[in-house]
Structure 1
């Protein structure tokens, strides 16, 4: 993690789902620490649909009122070049599964930027991924079904005993819960590089200055999986 680098996050909000946008922000923050520019390019309808999400993630929506198949993509590309010239970021992260951004990626690299891509799993072609310096596919997590409304009809008589309620899930060990509080992206199924976890664990007072994040995770093998086995460099939460 290098907080001295300027990082720019540009989101094609008409191309990826809301939960992928949320995952992308978490992933970029975990890797870079700070995101200096956060913009989402979309139609007015999408802006209203995602308004709560954009507010919670401090994303500035750039609304495109023009009609046409690629009008939002063109608006994002033009704005990207203007921003790079003005802000001089070291890293630009493009969130989209659209192959049309290949010329933009090449131009941003010519301007001295490292260009990362984030797309929705199953939507991005392999040829498109090769254009970026690094590309990550994020899964689309379906929204949970809303709880059914209570049945207001008169209660029906049932024979036999009532089915016993399921026991509550056991509480996590305190240290495990504190680790997840420090790195909530682990709860979302993300696999994190170990070298990016130490700083957050120290900030949460879970590690001393010379402490090892690897040893901390190894204390809880039922909850955290390290890989590869011999010389681990990644960690993932084992969902219970």
Structure 2
């Protein structure tokens, strides 16, 4: 397997986010009630996810070649700057039905399988989300010779999903990203 960066001989990383899944899990932990209650999922969301912490963890595995996040972004605009700073390819998913279930899971799985089939330099696939529906994807990716790293909230991650990965990182165990500078870049002397 070839590396995607001539300065870095490690195989490349593909990072896929089921973004609302992680956000909802963190919201439920904070609020102590179901995320979907009172149509919360159809309201503008406050940022809860430390995007940079996840990106830093993935970048430690190798150069990130694919960075894609799936969500109904109309409610997640407050994450805009964090996502843009990390060059995340945002995949907009409008829910076709009232339940809005599994749209991100299915699209993420299809894209991941297509990408590993097209790009031999992808050695590690990171999937952010605690949903056990990703188990078959992990099995297929591992059969294709890829390392699978899962990331999910400790409280809501399915144990079978975590076990299906080569490595699983609980979001709460990731080192937090350093606070952003309020002053911006320092002026040259």
Shorter-chain TM-score category? 0.5 to 0.7
User: Matched residues in 2 for 1:103 and 1:42: separation?
Assistant: 21
User: Matched residues in 2 for 1:187 and 1:92: separation?
Assistant: 21
Greater shift in the superposed pair: 76-85 or 121-130:
121-130
User: Matched residues in 2 for 1:35 and 1:59: separation?
Assistant: 11
1:81 positional shift: 1.0
| TM-score normalised per structure 1 | 0.54
Q: Deviations over 1:184-234 (max 9, x none)?
A: x5776xxxxxxxxxxxxxxxxxxxxxxxxxxxxxxxxxxxxxxxxxxxxxx
2:16 counterpart of 1:10: yes
SS at match of 1:36: strand
Pick one of 171, 174, 178 that aligns with 1:138: 171
1:20 positional shift: 4.1
SS at match of 2:155: coil
Pick one of 25, 30, 51 that aligns with 2:60: 30
Q: CA 1:136–1:69 in structure 2 vs 1: closer, same or farther (change >3 Å)?
A: same
Give the gaps of 5 or more residues in structure 2. 1-7, 24-47, 179-189
Q: CA 1:59–1:3 in structure 2 vs 1: closer, same or farther (change >3 Å)?
A: farther
1:44 positional shift: 3.0
User: Matched residues in 2 for 1:53 and 1:116: separation?
Assistant: 22
Pick one of 69, 82, 98 that aligns with 2:101: 69
| Residue in structure 2 matched with residue 95 of structure 1 by the alignment | 128
Q: Are 1:47 and 1:63, in contact at CA under 8 Å, matched by a contact in 2?
A: no
Higher relative contact order (CA 8 A, sep 6+): 2
1:24 positional shift: 1.0
Give the gaps of 5 or more residues in structure 1. 142-184, 189-240
Q: Are 2:149 and 2:167, in contact at CA under 8 Å, matched by a contact in 1?
A: yes
Q: CA 1:47–1:84 in structure 2 vs 1: closer, same or farther (change >3 Å)?
A: farther
In the TM superposition, structure 1's runs of 4+ consecutive aligned residues that sit over 6 Å from their partners are none
SS at match of 2:21: coil
Q: Are 2:69 and 2:88, in contact at CA under 8 Å, matched by a contact in 1?
A: yes
Q: How many residues align?
A: 143
| Residue in structure 1 matched with residue 38 of structure 2 by the alignment | none
